[in-house]
Structure 1
Amino acid sequence: MMPGFVPGRRLLYLGLALALAACAQPWLPPGPWWLVPLALVSVAVIDAALGWRIPPLTCERRVSKVWARGRWGEVTLTVHHPQGRALRLALFDHYPTGWEMQGLPHAASRLAAGRFLQLGYRLLPTERGDHRFGRLELRVETPLRLWARRAWVGEGDAVRVFPDFTTVLKRSLAAADRRVPQAGVLRRRRRGEGTDFHQLREYRRGDSLRAIDWKATARQQKPISREYQEERDQQIVFMLDCGRRMHALDGETSHFDHALNAMLVLAWLAQKQGDAVGLFTFAGPQRWLAPTKGRAAFDRLLAGLYDLEPGEIHPDYVQAAQALGEQVRKRSLIVLLTNVRDEDSDALPDALRLLTRHHRVMCVSLREVVLDQVLAQPATDLDSALLHCGTLEYVEARRQALLKLHGHARELMDVTPQQLPLALVNRYLDLKESGAL
């Protein structure tokens, strides 16, 4: 504990009173007024000396090592006063910069000897990645409360902030359930109508006549149906654009964070379906996670992208496609997440042509919500008319760029960030059910 002293409120008030008295000295009767500041300094020194004798306190911070971006979490601080007189103290925690906070600083509290003081406050992480709590700052008032003895106690804590896994998990489970239409997932195939043979079972009302196994029916002397399941053991590789365009904001969340959340939704569902999931990033921090199966694959993906941030360069789609082709040999579903602009009309088709030689490619372009909002508003004056015309020109150029991609990617989507997770899930399930993978 490294102590220091800061003036208390009482000392500041006494100093102010002394300064006013000094200004009024010409109007005061003669006398030994110099004794007043001397006495004040002596009392302040004695009070500080008594503050040095305050026994050291122990402090503890209880904080989760893992946080979710955009979700409030609790932090608990505990102070133990082992012996001596009762103390008045205030406690402040140096939480990560930029986080939103509720509940600090706490007002000074009285703590008797041998007792514990427990305080709590709430934090809202605003950015993913690695963050660190500083040491706790403790201020203990001296006996006359002229000073506060300040000390930094305890150690810092390293924490990690992930995408909001709770929300992602709920959406994933809802999306995987055929019976939840409000989740927005459209499941068109009935039970038993996948593409991989699963088992024989008794005929049930609603089964297709094509599903009846007539040889088994003859042997068992009762109707027997063939039950199929959706394809398993496929590979999905997310090809994530980490270029400067992904900094674009819709509300308080960037396109990049929307893309990460959508990836996690689909990755969770894919590992539940028995598929392997991998990650390839380009136009920024370069990371490669080979496709793996099971819950461990989802955890690995989460750990591999939680601190990922977009860079400031333009994406080179052809170079990225060549690099990914060297990494992925087995036929896979490549999910390209990017923001298509008209200047991509030459490079992106070449990249898709390279990928589609050996893989099924799903090209997903994120569209800014503000474009739809501007076009939905009527033009009421010159400025709004110019804005409307400029937006129309931009949207048309973007549409033409997307049209050039239709011959190179079978799966092409142009969606807003809010539509992205469910659009990905619906298209993935369609591909699974059709056997296209």
Structure 2
Amino acid sequence: MLSKLPIPDRQTFYLIAALAAIGLITIFIPALTLLWKISAAIIAVILVADLIISTFISNPKDIITVERHLPGSIPLGVSRHIELIIHNKSSKPQNLDIFDHFPNEVHAEGLPVNVSIPGEQHAEIQYKIIANQRGKLIFPKVQIKLQSVFKFWRINQYLPVNSETNVYPNFAAIAHYALLATDNNLSQMGIIKKRRRGEGQNFHQLREYREGDAMRQIDWKATSRVQKLISREYQDEKDQEIIFMLDCGHRMMAKDDDLSHFDHTLNALLLLSYVALRQGDAVGLMTFSGEDQRWFSPRKGQHNVQQILNTVYDLQPSTSSPDYSKAATDLLIRHKKRALVIILTNTRDEDGDDLLPAISILKKRHLVLLASLRESSIADMLDKPIEDLNDALDNSAAHHYLQQRKSTFEELVNNGIRAMDVSPDKLTVDLINAYLSIKSSGTL
């Protein structure tokens, strides 16, 4: 960041160096002492006059104006460029040092910037930011170091350039998914679309028989009319409903990398919402265990991705503990129609007494999928070589923790509950694959 005080420019150091040289000469030629004193007084007057004129008389707003161009929205953890356009309104060239006052929630690279602008011209500069927290970002001002009238000082000035933008969960993954889906290359993301030719839940069309079609697909009436084999083709059922139950409790604050478990969950929720809406399903959302609880009723149409973004972009996990039973009861009150309910949380073995009854309540009306995030640091601890007693204790504790966690999930599965225990980096792909598998199976 630039200093707030005026600082001497290069010409000032040249003058001081010349004055120091004269002072050294006066040691050997005392007759020049008077010349040195007069020179020092003149230089001091010039420097002070330049500082006063530039600071209190000339108005920097009459010389420099700045525009800031921000993206309308920024995905969390993704690099974006900010553009500044600096206008020199004077007829003289200006040399500036520029620093944009970005918010604390972002990391910036490429500041400050030095730029020279000819008279009555403008310059465009860019710097890069990476947002590390969702919500609203406010850029309040731009700080410049403007050369003084006689170019002996750099005068600090603040120009009020207020701009705002919002940081959303990483919607850049949607564009990547859409591109791969267009090219039928979803396997690059690890997404597996199980194609069962002609099979599904809803009748789609009649077509000529193809090798590999099942006998039960053949429409014998149509076949007899046209005197060739005709097959019925089906597609996966549409108009189904998916509701996310998002845990906003304290465990979701855990971090294994630059993003918290909560942010990983929002990214997965967003991409799966896009996939489900594109499949013709309705998507809804309910948060629980946080003070700021939100409800988004299931809606169809890909445009609702933006509405979901607006619902969750500024949501943060709280210090509360998850209350699964209350969340299940609230959902049953709010939504009556059968839906695929996806619980996004971070469970512990002590949650079993509350989690299992809550899911059992939901199962009476809905199909439930539990997706629980597992700390990657546990696996890293197991991979760490054992070199001393502390390492051995850590390894033993990690094995004990994972065993208890495994027992909890085995109990859920044994009670007929679909459950996923997944690391944050694999949540998105595993969740989409689970959804597609449920769709193709027709169990919803």
When normalised by structure 1's length, the TM-score is: 0.90
Query: In the alignment, is the contact (CA less than 8 A) between 1:175 and 1:183 conserved in 2?
Result: no
**1:343-362 alpha-carbon deviations (Å, 9 max, x no partner):** 10111111111111110000
Aligned pairs for 1:10-409 (under 5 A) are: 11=12, 35=38, 38-51=41-54, 52-53=57-58, 55-107=62-114, 109-171=115-177, 174=180, 180-284=186-290, 285-409=292-416
| CA pair 176-242 structure 1, distance change in 2 beyond 3 A | farther
Paired amino acid for 2:233? E
**1:81-137 alpha-carbon deviations (Å, 9 max, x no partner):** 223332222222111224222221112x33222222222222222222110112112
Query: In the alignment, is the contact (CA less than 8 A) between 1:356 and 1:409 conserved in 2?
Result: no
Whole-angstrom distance in 2 between the partners of 1:332 and 1:153: 53
Whole-angstrom distance in 2 between the partners of 1:152 and 1:426: 52
How far 1:397 sits from its partner (Å)?
1.8
User: Higher helix proportion, which one?
Assistant: 2
| CA pair 179-82 structure 1, distance change in 2 beyond 3 A | closer
Query: In the alignment, is the contact (CA less than 8 A) between 1:8 and 1:145 conserved in 2?
Result: no
**1:206-237 alpha-carbon deviations (Å, 9 max, x no partner):** 22111001111112222111110101100000
* SS of structure 1 residue aligned to 2:319: coil
Whole-angstrom distance in 2 between the partners of 1:177 and 1:392: 43
How far 1:139 sits from its partner (Å)?
2.0
How far 1:40 sits from its partner (Å)?
3.5
Whole-angstrom distance in 2 between the partners of 1:47 and 1:176: 64
* SS of structure 2 residue aligned to 1:222: coil
* SS of structure 2 residue aligned to 1:253: coil
| CA pair 412-268 structure 1, distance change in 2 beyond 3 A | same
**1:284-310 alpha-carbon deviations (Å, 9 max, x no partner):** 131110000011221111121111111
Whole-angstrom distance in 2 between the partners of 1:340 and 1:322: 19
| CA pair 394-111 structure 1, distance change in 2 beyond 3 A | same
Query: In the alignment, is the contact (CA less than 8 A) between 2:369 and 2:419 conserved in 1?
Result: yes
* SS of structure 2 residue aligned to 1:193: coil
How far 1:175 sits from its partner (Å)?
6.6
* SS of structure 1 residue aligned to 2:425: coil
Which has the larger displacement, 166-175 or 424-433?
Answer: 166-175
Whole-angstrom distance in 2 between the partners of 1:292 and 1:164: 21
Query: In the alignment, is the contact (CA less than 8 A) between 2:368 and 2:418 conserved in 1?
Result: yes
| CA pair 12-99 structure 1, distance change in 2 beyond 3 A | farther
Q: Which residue of 1 aligns with 2:6?
A: 6
* SS of structure 1 residue aligned to 2:365: coil
Q: Which runs of 5+ in 2 are unaligned?
A: none
Query: In the alignment, is the contact (CA less than 8 A) between 2:171 and 2:271 conserved in 1?
Result: no
How far 1:430 sits from its partner (Å)?
1.5
* SS of structure 2 residue aligned to 1:78: strand
**1:27-81 alpha-carbon deviations (Å, 9 max, x no partner):** 9959667656543432123213542346432221122121122222222222222
Whole-angstrom distance in 2 between the partners of 1:281 and 1:205: 48
Q: Which residue of 2 aligns with 1:423?
A: 430
Query: In the alignment, is the contact (CA less than 8 A) between 2:92 and 2:120 conserved in 1?
Result: no
Alignment RMSD (CA, Å): 2.9
How far 1:262 sits from its partner (Å)?
1.2
Query: In the alignment, is the contact (CA less than 8 A) between 2:106 and 2:132 conserved in 1?
Result: yes
Q: Which runs of 5+ in 1 are unaligned?
A: none
Whole-angstrom distance in 2 between the partners of 1:414 and 1:145: 65
How far 1:17 sits from its partner (Å)?
9.6
Whole-angstrom distance in 2 between the partners of 1:82 and 1:318: 65
Paired amino acid for 2:338? R
| CA pair 27-244 structure 1, distance change in 2 beyond 3 A | farther
| CA pair 325-408 structure 1, distance change in 2 beyond 3 A | farther
When normalised by structure 2's length, the TM-score is: 0.89
Q: Which residue of 1 aligns with 2:442?
A: 435
| CA pair 156-69 structure 1, distance change in 2 beyond 3 A | same
Whole-angstrom distance in 2 between the partners of 1:177 and 1:138: 48
Which has the larger displacement, 94-103 or 268-277?
Answer: 94-103
Whole-angstrom distance in 1 between the partners of 2:28 and 2:364: 99
Query: In the alignment, is the contact (CA less than 8 A) between 1:172 and 1:268 conserved in 2?
Result: no
How far 1:180 sits from its partner (Å)?
4.2
Whole-angstrom distance in 2 between the partners of 1:280 and 1:90: 48
* SS of structure 2 residue aligned to 1:131: strand
Query: In the alignment, is the contact (CA less than 8 A) between 1:352 and 1:408 conserved in 2?
Result: no
Query: In the alignment, is the contact (CA less than 8 A) between 1:352 and 1:409 conserved in 2?
Result: no
Whole-angstrom distance in 1 between the partners of 2:339 and 2:68: 47
| CA pair 423-85 structure 1, distance change in 2 beyond 3 A | closer
User: How many residues in Structure 1 have an aligned counterpart in Structure 2?
Assistant: 433
Whole-angstrom distance in 2 between the partners of 1:394 and 1:177: 42
**1:375-427 alpha-carbon deviations (Å, 9 max, x no partner):** 23443332211111111111122222223323445311111112211211121
Whole-angstrom distance in 1 between the partners of 2:45 and 2:239: 82
* SS of structure 2 residue aligned to 1:135: strand
